[in-house]
């Protein structure tokens, strides 16, 4: 076992453990914080797999932006400090079944799809910005351009959902 | 490659130890004189008004919208980084690609602007 | 000749530890020094001496203040969330220091008989590390405001966080311009790429956008809305005292130093000697330990500008601030990025004549103009009678009252002179009170 593999196992355990805590804790903000830990550990895993760019993008986007959005949402509704008893839905068994089912499907698909594929991590240049950029912009052009359409849809959706008070028909149903 | 991260972890440990020590030591170094008023939330000397537990004192939704815009532009930004690194190798093809990308997101941006999503009042 | 990354990879552990301690000390000492410098310089700008009692020129004032803070009572409001309240100052302090790790302080030197570079780590994604650190710093702000459980900090933290994330976009986009020229995300490569010319004049738009957004990103005057004393008491750290407060303060100043150091690295040639000096003796001033001097000097230039801005400009309103960020800086950088990418691609493609290049740029400008015409800004109020209603349901009187022009001054024989003079000391005293001890 190499040093990287030795670190990978505890990192994976941290990611898994904190993910479980995200859904089991009964305090809203702490759930978000455990999510940060889980995503951070995942970034560490990416790093160990020599995907340096992806690892830092994970920190930048998921930890630095997505969870901040979640925290904003929590604060906008004034999450109470302390326990919220209504966080537990009572459908634990169903949730567990769905979660395990999803995990099983994903693992099967990934293992089945990439069983024989291998990447030579070598000097670590496989995940560098240059390699990723060349691959992305040369061979994955369509997904990349589709992504911009996705961003467009997301922006429009954000506006339509969050700000009914503005725009052309602003003042009939307007409450701030 | 991973050895490069060892000093980073060391710096993290040092800064973390310092911060942890400061936070943990503060109650023991300083004096402790009990006064009920000190433990209240600060509201300029007046009695803190009780906040409703749920649904009270909501914040303007514009903050949430800003965070959403942030994510979307952050995503756009991180795609521009690998492009910038390999821009020369990609040549004209890369330029057309990125111009299309920026234009599409720019279109969305113009929509947000027009609908007043960037306005604060 | 080894690259910086290879040099650093050869560092033994003890050397790494020395560098780590040195960087940490640099951050702390710069903070103490900056607080002193800021109070002295702002003092000068306001015709008063500033702190001059503790130590020579008052240099030890910040140290004394720091020690004083440590011996203050540590208060935790009863409504606070205990763990998050403790965690927030730690979270805001750590990333501030981490961002230093990729800043190149100088080229290769011999340190204790070991050949190494004056940089802690040289990651191929260096710039992303700094951006990631600054986005992690947002957690400290958001969590501290929420965990305090009182309204002012919560408002302050939301404002502050929204401000930081808005300007982070502008900052990140301005850096893309630099990457388009250096073709590397590694900070040492960026410095090396500036051998032929510093980027502040090669990429003026990027530089200006970065310079504005770095002030917004660090919540400094004139963008210091999160701590607008008149509105929000102290902002997100209102409920913090003692060393916890000191940590927030430390993080703020370290962040200031980090963005200044990054500005130096990206736009002012990093550790490179300025032009007339760099020509001396075949560039001897660009080797050995000299570069640290240039690096720190340039960083101090930016830090001084921070202080200068604080002493000069009044605070912006929140909507003005957000408008500047989202409606000016972001579109300007996007257009600028496409422009640089286009000129890069055109000049690197063989067989393109100058005429074709010009046609291409002409088309680009026309497209831009059309685009600009698609962006109508002013929304005209459709009915003039409309009275805006605030969230609480109280109608607000129209705020468009036009102030009549002040009548032209007429010189009366004797009376007005003393009245005018009486005003002055009061105004000065008020200004002193406002900004005088604002730094602690």
B2 touches chain C (CB under 8 A): no
pLDDT tens per residue across span C189-202: 898 888 888 888 88
Q: State the Cα–Cα distance between residues B4 and C10, nearest whole angstrom.
A: 10
Q: Which residues pair with C108 in a beta bridge?
A: C117
Who contacts C191 (Cβ-Cβ below 8 Å, separation ≥6)? C104, C265, C269, C270, C271, C272
Q: Please list the rounded mean pLDDT of every run of 10 residues in chain B (121 residues).
A: 83 92 84 75 64 54 84 90 87 86 88 80 65
Which of A76-85, C4-13, C23-32, C127-136 has the lowest average pLDDT? A76-85
Strand pairing class (C114-118; C106-111): antiparallel
Residue bearing the bigger pLDDT, C198 or C416: C198
Cα A149 off chain centre by: 20
Q: The dihedral of CA C243, C215, C206, B114: what is its sign?
A: positive
The answer to the question of residue A112 being in a domain is no
Tokens of C356: 């074709």
The answer to the question of residue A121 being in a domain is no
Please compute the mean of the pLDDT values over residues A112-118 and round it to a whole number: 83
Query: pLDDT grade, residue C380 (50/70/90)?
Result: low
Residues A17 and A64 in one domain: yes
- Residue C110 is inside which H or E element, if any? strand C106-111
The answer to the question of residue A12 being in a domain is yes
Check if the beta carbon of residue B64 is closer than 8 Å to that of residue A77. Answer: no
Quickly tell me which residue has 């130096």 as its tokens: C264
Contacts of B106 in chain C (CB under 8 A): 331, 334, 371
Q: State the Cα–Cα distance between residues C322 and C308, nearest whole angstrom.
A: 22
- What global pTM score does this model have? 0.84
Please compute the mean of the pLDDT values over residues A162-174 and round it to a whole number: 52
Query: pLDDT grade, residue C7 (50/70/90)?
Result: confident
Quickly tell me which residue has 């805590």 as its tokens: A21
Residue of C nearest to A27 (CA): C81
- Residue A70 belongs to domain with CATH number: 1.20.120.1200
pLDDT tens per residue across span C384-411: 555 555 556 666 666 666 766 776 666 6
The predicted structure's pLDDT at residue A41:
94
Choose the mutation target among A155, A157, A161, A170 for the interface with B, i.e. most B CBs under 10 Å. Answer: A155
The answer to the question of residue A99 being in a domain is no
The predicted structure's pLDDT at residue A34:
92
Q: Which residues pair with A96 in a beta bridge?
A: none
* Assembly ipTM: 0.88
Kindly indicate whether the domain formed by B2-114 is annotated with CATH number 3.30.70: no
B17 touches chain C (CB under 8 A): no
Supply the range of the domain harboring residue A40.
Answer: 3-90
Please compute the mean of the pLDDT values over residues C282-304 and round it to a whole number: 86
Phi, psi of A27 (to 5 degrees): -120, 125
The predicted structure's pLDDT at residue C228:
62
Full 3-state SS string of chain A? CCHHHHHHHHHHHHHHHHHHHHHHCCCHHHHHHHHHHHHHHHHHHHHHCCCHHHHHHHHHHHHHHHHHHHHHHHHHCCCCCCCCHHHCCCCHHHHHHHHHHHHHHHHHHHHHHHCCCCCCCCCCHHHCHHHHHHHHHHHCHHHHHHHHHHHHHHHHHHHHHHCCCCCCCCCCCCCC
The answer to the question of residue A96 being in a domain is no
Look at A57 and C84 and tell me if their CB atoms are within 8 Å: no
Angle formed at CA C174 by CA C171 and CA C176, multiple of 5 degrees:
115
Query: pLDDT grade, residue C439 (50/70/90)?
Result: very low
The predicted structure's pLDDT at residue A166:
55
Contacts of B121 in chain C (CB under 8 A): 319
Query: pLDDT grade, residue C237 (50/70/90)?
Result: confident
pLDDT tens per residue across span A39-49: 999 999 988 88
Who contacts A47 (Cβ-Cβ below 8 Å, separation ≥6)? A55, B2, B5
- pLDDT of C299 higher than 90: yes
The predicted structure's pLDDT at residue C9:
77
Q: Which residues pair with C109 in a beta bridge?
A: C116
Look at B55 and A77 and tell me if their CB atoms are within 8 Å: yes
C393 touches chain A (CB under 8 A): no
Residues A26 and A79 in one domain: yes
The predicted structure's pLDDT at residue B46:
65
Residue of B nearest to A49 (CA): B2
Select from A60, A68, A82 the Cβ nearest to the Cβ of C161.
Answer: A68
Question: Domains in chain A: how many in total?
Answer: 2
Q: Output the CA–CA distances (angstroms, integers) from residue C269 to C88, C194, C198, in the order listed.
A: 35, 6, 5
- pLDDT of C270 higher than 90: no
Tokens of C170: 């502008």
User: What share of chain C has pLDDT > 70, as a percent?
Assistant: 82
């Amino acid at each position: 076992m190499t040093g990287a593999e030795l670190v990978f196992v505890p990192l994976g355990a941290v990611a898994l453990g904190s993910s479980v805590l995200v859904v089991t804790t009964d305090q809203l903000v702490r759930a978000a914080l455990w999510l940060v830990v889980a995503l951070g550990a995942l970034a560490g895993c990416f790093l160990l797999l020599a995907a340096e760019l992806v690892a830092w993008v994970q920190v930048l986007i998921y930890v630095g932006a997505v969870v901040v959005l979640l925290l904003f949402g929590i604060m906008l509704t004034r999450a109470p400090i302390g326990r919220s008893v209504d966080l537990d839905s009572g459908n634990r068994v169903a949730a567990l079944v769905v979660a395990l089912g999803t995990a099983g499907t994903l693992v099967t698909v990934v293992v089945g799809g990439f069983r024989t594929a291998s990447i030579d991590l070598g000097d670590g240049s496989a995940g560098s910005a240059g390699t990723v950029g060349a691959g992305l912009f040369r061979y994955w052009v369509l997904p990349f351009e589709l992504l911009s359409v996705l961003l467009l849809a997301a922006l429009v959706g954000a506006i339509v959902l969050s700000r009914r008070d503005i725009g052309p028909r602003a003042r009939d149903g307007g409450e701030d | 490659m991973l050895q490069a991260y060892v000093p980073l972890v060391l710096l993290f440990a040092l800064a973390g130890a310092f911060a942890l020590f400061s936070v943990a030591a503060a109650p023991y170094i300083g004096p402790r004189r009990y006064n009920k008023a000190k433990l209240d939330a600060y509201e300029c000397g007046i009695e803190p008004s009780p906040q409703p537990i749920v649904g009270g004192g909501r914040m303007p939704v514009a903050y949430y919208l800003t965070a959403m815009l942030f994510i979307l532009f952050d995503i756009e930004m991180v795609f521009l980084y690998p492009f910038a690194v390999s821009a020369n190798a990609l040549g004209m093809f890369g330029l057309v690609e990125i111009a299309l990308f920026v234009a599409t997101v720019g279109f969305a941006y113009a929509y947000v602007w027009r609908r007043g999503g960037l306005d604060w009042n | 000749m080894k690259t910086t990354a290879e040099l650093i990879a050869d560092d033994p552990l003890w050397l790494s530890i020395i560098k780590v301690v040195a960087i940490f000390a640099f951050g702390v000492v710069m903070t103490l020094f900056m607080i002193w410098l800021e109070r002295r310089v702002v003092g000068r700008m306001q015709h008063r001496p500033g702190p001059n009692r503790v130590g020579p020129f008052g240099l030890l004032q910040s140290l004394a203040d720091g020690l004083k803070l440590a011996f203050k009572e540590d208060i935790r409001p009863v409504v606070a969330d205990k763990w998050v309240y403790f965690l927030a100052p730690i979270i805001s302090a750590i990333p501030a220091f981490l961002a230093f790790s990729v800043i190149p302080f100088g080229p290769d030197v011999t340190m204790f008989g070991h050949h190494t570079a004056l940089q802690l780590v040289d990651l191929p994604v260096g710039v992303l590390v700094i951006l990631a650190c600054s986005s992690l710093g947002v957690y400290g702000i958001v969590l501290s405001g929420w965990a305090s459980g009182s309204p002012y900090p919560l408002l302050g933290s939301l404002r502050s966080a929204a401000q930081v994330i808005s300007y982070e976009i502008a900052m990140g986009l301005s850096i893309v311009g630099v990457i388009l020229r250096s073709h590397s995300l590694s900070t040492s490569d960026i410095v090396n790429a500036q051998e032929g010319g510093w980027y502040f004049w090669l990429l003026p738009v990027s530089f200006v956008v970065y310079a504005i957004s770095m002030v917004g990103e660090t919540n400094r005057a004139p963008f210091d809305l999160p701590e607008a004393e008149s509105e929000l008491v102290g902002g997100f750290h209102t409920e913090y005292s003692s060393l916890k407060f000191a940590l927030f303060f430390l993080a703020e100043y370290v962040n200031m130093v980090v963005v200044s150091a990054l500005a130096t690295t990206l736009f002012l040639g990093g550790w490179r000697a300025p032009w007339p000096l760099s020509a001396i003796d075949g560039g001897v001033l660009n080797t050995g330990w000299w570069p640290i001097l240039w690096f720190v000097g340039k960083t101090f230039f930016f830090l001084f500008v921070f202080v200068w801005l604080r002493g000069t400009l009044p605070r912006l309103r929140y909507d003005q601030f957000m408008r500047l960020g989202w409606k000016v800086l972001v579109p300007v950088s996007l257009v600028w990025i496409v422009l640089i990418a286009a000129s890069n691609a055109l000049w690197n493609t063989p067989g393109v004549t100058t005429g074709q290049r010009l046609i291409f740029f002409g088309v680009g400008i026309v497209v831009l103009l059309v685009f600009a015409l698609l962006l109508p800004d002013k929304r005209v109020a459709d009915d003039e009678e409309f009275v805006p209603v605030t969230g609480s349901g109280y109608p607000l009187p129209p705020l468009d009252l036009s102030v009549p022009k002040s009548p032209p001054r007429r010189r009366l024989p004797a009376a007005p002179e003393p009245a005018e003079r009486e005003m002055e000391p009061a105004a000065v005293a008020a200004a002193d009170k406002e900004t005088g001890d604002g730094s602690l």
